[in-house]
Amino acid sequence: MNPPIIDVIIPVLNEEDSIGKVIADIPDIVQDIIVCNNGSDDNTAEVALSKGAIVVNQPIKGYGIACLKGMEYIANKSKDKQPDIVVFLDGDYSDYPEELTKIIAPILEDNMDIVIGSRAIGERESGSMMPQQVFGNWLATTLIRLFYGYKFTDLGPFRAIKYDKLLELNMIDKNFGWTVELQVKAAKKKMKCTEVAVKYRHRIGESKVTGTIKGSVMAGYKILWTIFRYL
């Protein structure tokens, strides 16, 4: 049996100080590391290229639209180069990229469709998540459990999904609702989902979402809107 083909998608905006560390810590079992440059005005793209990543550019700002650009790159590959599994993680070095093997294990060993890296059940540095993040994740996952019958503990960005299942979800969100859209749609389609505990640390640089009041409010609104949209 051939080993699975794994691609990694990393959306980034001005992460020149961290993206090299992220790429360096990704296990060498992956085929392509696709860095989705979301309108950075620093040297993020150059650093990523120097570390061996593929860089695709999406100048329109938005977490979701950056991820969609990475998916577009994968879709344009020849069939034999398209992955079996796609892993998403952030480019700010708050995740531990070496835990990728832990993230994909339930797919390989238990035939799961989707694996969420949960910071809620894992180890996280004190202060690495803002209070509004902790509360927002609790509220969102509680609502998903109540309305969709699926138990999640986190909307964590570090996640793995079978590529064919990712296509089946028909992802469309272009901004803050991306992670919750994936989980809600997976629940509606009764996909096999699980979580694994992951570590989490202080990010390098300032968050584009929780680093501002406006970002926090907009993210919270979009997450709740997405949960109710698909009821």
pLDDT tens, position by position, 21-30: 999 999 999 9
Tally of residues, the chain: 231
pLDDT tens, position by position, 38-90: 999 999 999 999 999 999 999 999 999 999 999 999 999 999 999 999 999 99
* Residue 32 belongs to a domain: yes
Spatial CA neighbour of 7 closest among 88, 65, 80:
88
* Residue 43 belongs to a domain: yes
pLDDT tens, position by position, 103-156: 999 999 999 999 999 999 999 999 999 888 899 899 999 999 999 999 999 999
Residue 212 binned pLDDT confidence (cut-offs 50, 70, 90): low
| Amino acid identity for residue 213 in this structure | I
> Domain limits at 94?
6-229
* Residue 29 belongs to a domain: yes
* Residue 209 belongs to a domain: yes
Residue 125, Cβ density class (10 Å: 0-12 exposed, 13-18 middle, ≥19 buried): exposed
Q: Which residues contact 192 (CB under 8 A, 6 or more apart)?
A: 111, 112, 113, 114
* Residue 1 belongs to a domain: no
pLDDT of amino acid 1: 73
Number of folded domains that form the chain: 1
* Residue 89 belongs to a domain: yes
* Residue 128 belongs to a domain: yes
Tell me, what DSSP letter sits at residue 37? E
Say which CATH number the domain at 101 has.
3.90.550.10
pTM: 0.95
